[in-house]
Amino acid sequence: MSIAELSHVSKSFGAVRAVDDVSFSVGKGEFFGLLGPNGAGKTTSIRILLDIFKPDQGSVAVMGGPMTEEKKNHIGYMPEERGLYQDIPLERALAYLASLKGLTTAQIRARLGEYLERFDLAAHRKKKVKELSKGMQQKAQIIATIIHHPDLLIIDEPFSGLDPVNTQMVKDLLRDLHRQGTTIIMSTHQMHQVEELCQRILLMNHGRVMLYGPLTEIRRRFSGHALLVRTPDGLPDLPGVISVEALNGAHRLNLTSTATPQEILKYLVDCNITVEQFEIALPTLDEIFIRVVRDQEQSV
Amino acid sequence: MNKMWRVMAYEYSRHVLRKRFLFALLSVPLWLLVMIAAAFLAVFLMTNRTPLGYVDYSGVLANPVPIDLEEGSPFTNIPILPFAAEDEARAALEAGRIQAYYVLPEDYLQTRRARLVYKEEPSSRIEDKFSAFVRRGLLARQPETVAERILDGPEFVIRAEQEGREVRSKEWMKIFAPAAAGVILATVVFSTGGYLMQAVVEEKENRTMEILVTSLSPMQIMAGKIIGLMAVGLTQVFTWSLVPAVGVALAAAYLPAFRASIDWGLVGLIFLLVMPTFVMISALMAAIGATVIEASEGQQITGLVSLPVMLPYMLIGALITNPGSPMAVALSLFPLTSALTILIRMAVATVPTWQIVTGAALLIVSAVGSLWLAGRIFRLGMLRYGQRIRWRELLASFRSAR
């Protein structure tokens, strides 16, 4: 069942077409990645999904229909441009934002204490937000986004401004939420984070959809006719292999069009070569992204 | 609790609990209190409370009626002592037991002339006081109601034949209240309208707006802010009015001139005019806040709204001199100026009912229209960081709303 769906959505600001005929749907319980360079149309797509902007064309469905005030209570949104009231104590700022998500005073008190402890902010609860470090403000923003236990979590560049320790903590938190059944849409341009966390992705560039589907399928689609082999022994001359490249202590074997991985594996075993790793060489998302963007620019 | 009320409560507490607001809120009444206390102290120190004497050869004060405390405050209450002969009164004056004495000669009723004897000239209050005492003495044989009516003095009543409205010279409240409401309106418009614009610009600047609009609708945000800041304005006005109100109530206990019954019809009318004006201006201020990039830029633009609102004050001379002029009527019907113009005209003349009804109706329609308009502008401008809205975009937004 789809929890969020954009169908042939377009949106322009003046002469700039920010989003051009974009369609995608996110299933319940999915961890979905929205990828693309800066200015690709990711944030505009999210704002259209959240009913902040009205699309010029196309339709939007959230939790089975148009956005309502009630549905907003079940959505957590962390925008790329972080926003918290600067001049009031942290605890008060978070309590107010939580109250706007429909939480009662008792619920806010209980959950706020728990999250402030978990995010190591309990000692700073009385400080004004502007007195906190950038990393602390980032963590406070995450609390404001998840305190009401949303069914759908939409996060824009969640790792920007975080050090490695806090990045890991946020990753663990997102995994936890996903395990508990929260649907997550993560927009980012950090491809390796998507590779680690997401099941399906949408890659955008210049407002258009470039790639859409399960991550493994996309990587397989972009894989060349190549193998990744790790062995402590030297590699003999292998039939069906055009060239061999060294790659992070392993070997990348580029095959002829008629050679199969099974034939190569059989030949290695027959030659008594110790095989520590043998797999189809899949491209990284970074490589796919660069290839897709370059192809698009060449076609333009 | 509805989310709009949460926004209202937040905006209210956020502004009311600020130190600079509390300072501004309390400094005005405290300053007034100090002024009133200083005035009372001055009267107290300057008043000679030594008794006043009189010698009555005319028999007018044969059975004197004591003056009750209404005629003077505890600070200025001076005992009046009778003397059988002038020698006794003079001796008392010499001994300092009285500050002065009046002599009513035998032919007082014919000449109506009394003689005041003193060593140091007493204040004019002494004369007022003794006159009231003599008037009561003269009316001692009259029935009480007749005496009271005569003592009350004349009252001028101006009655407008067509509208059926009348103004009594002693009902100063009818003259004072509209003018006071005008001052209150101006204060509220300038202070809270500015707060509202600032609040919206700040939320744009610190990017909180984007989170707010995913929790509640732009209309709920706007309404919550407007009501919250209206409550801030009313708190300010209420606190500032409290001291003068207590002052008037205290004065009314001693001075009949300050006694006036509250005209609830007039109060209702003032609210009918002031509230939609406030909503309209607040909505426009919020819209300005949503369109500008920085608070300082917004403050310059707010002049476009606040100047027309204050226009009737700038033209107050012309409005008072000729309250029925075509300009006065036009300003009474133009929504941004109608509340103040009608209130100023009501202080000095009778405003035809049709003009009040039409002005109020146009105001209410404009307030609703401004809310709608501001809602559109707000939605369009709330997430524009560092970018102004173009007129073409605004018009396109209005067209799509139809």
Q: What is the pLDDT of residue B66?
A: 60
ipTM of the complex: 0.78
B207 CB within 8 Å of a chain A CB: yes
Interface contact A47-B206, CB threshold 8 A: no
For B182, the 3-state DSSP assignment is: helix
Q: What is the pLDDT of residue B70?
A: 45
Q: How close B24 gets to chain A, by Cα (Å)?
A: 19
Interface test with chain A among B19, B214, B390, B398, by most A beta carbons within 10 Å: B214
Query: Can you say whether the dihedral through the CA atoms of A300, A195, A217, A208 is positive or negative?
Result: negative
Interface contact B210-A52, CB threshold 8 A: yes
Distance CA A255, CA A225 (A): 6
Q: What is the pLDDT of residue B165?
A: 57
Show the CA angle centred on residue B225, arms to residues A53 and B5, nearest 5°.
100
Contact B232, B15 (CB under 8 A): yes
Question: pTM for this structure?
Answer: 0.71
Q: How close A104 gets to chain B, by Cα (Å)?
A: 9
Model pLDDT for residues B236-278, shown as the tens digit of each residue:
878 877 777 777 777 666 666 555 566 677 778 888 888 888 8
Q: What is the pLDDT of residue B69?
A: 43
- State both tokens at A77: 């949104």
Q: Tell me whether residue B172 is exposed, middle or buried, using C-beta atoms within 10 angstroms of its C-beta: 0 to 12, 13 to 18, 19 or more.
A: middle
The tokens 């229909």 sit on which residue? Answer: A65
Question: What per-residue string of b and e applies to B253-280 under the rule 16 or more CB within 10 Å gives b?
Answer: ebeeeeebeeeeeeeebbebbbbbbbbb
B341-347: list long-range contacts, CB under 8 Å, 24+ apart.
B341/B312, B342/B178, B342/B273, B343/B178, B343/B179, B343/B181, B343/B182, B343/B185, B343/B270, B343/B273, B344/B178, B344/B179, B344/B182, B344/B312, B344/B313, B344/B316, B344/B319, B344/B320, B345/B319, B346/B178, B347/B175, B347/B176, B347/B178, B347/B179
Q: How close B216 gets to chain A, by Cα (Å)?
A: 6
- State both tokens at B305: 């709204």
Q: What is the pLDDT of residue A27?
A: 94
Q: Give the alpha-carbon dihedral of B56, B61, B63, B69, to 10 degrees.
A: -120
Model pLDDT for residues B46-74, shown as the tens digit of each residue:
777 788 899 988 887 776 666 554 455 55
Q: How close A245 gets to chain B, by Cα (Å)?
A: 49
SS3 letters across A258-295:
CCCHHHHHHHHHHCCCCCCEEEECCCCHHHHHHHHHHH
Interface contact A79-B207, CB threshold 8 A: yes
Model pLDDT for residues B83-121, shown as the tens digit of each residue:
888 899 999 989 988 989 999 898 888 888 889 999 888
Distance CA A82, CA B218 (A): 19
Distance CA B176, CA A45 (A): 58
Distance of CA B318 to the CA centre of its chain: 22
Q: What is the pLDDT of residue A10?
A: 94
Strand A250-255 relative to strand A75-78: parallel, antiparallel, unpaired? unpaired
- State both tokens at A144: 């404001």
Segment holding B192, helix H or strand E:
helix B173-205
Model pLDDT for residues B126-183, shown as the tens digit of each residue:
888 888 888 888 887 778 788 777 877 777 676 666 555 566 655 656 666 666 777 7
Mean pLDDT value of segment A47-51? 92
Distance CA A224, CA A210 (A): 19
Distance CA A193, CA A208 (A): 22
Model pLDDT for residues B318-356, shown as the tens digit of each residue:
888 888 899 999 999 999 899 889 888 887 778 888 999
Interface contact B206-A77, CB threshold 8 A: no
Q: Tell me whether residue A181 is exposed, middle or buried, using C-beta atoms within 10 angstroms of its C-beta: 0 to 12, 13 to 18, 19 or more.
A: exposed
Interface contact A69-B217, CB threshold 8 A: yes
Residue B220 with chain A: CB contacts under 8 Å: 69
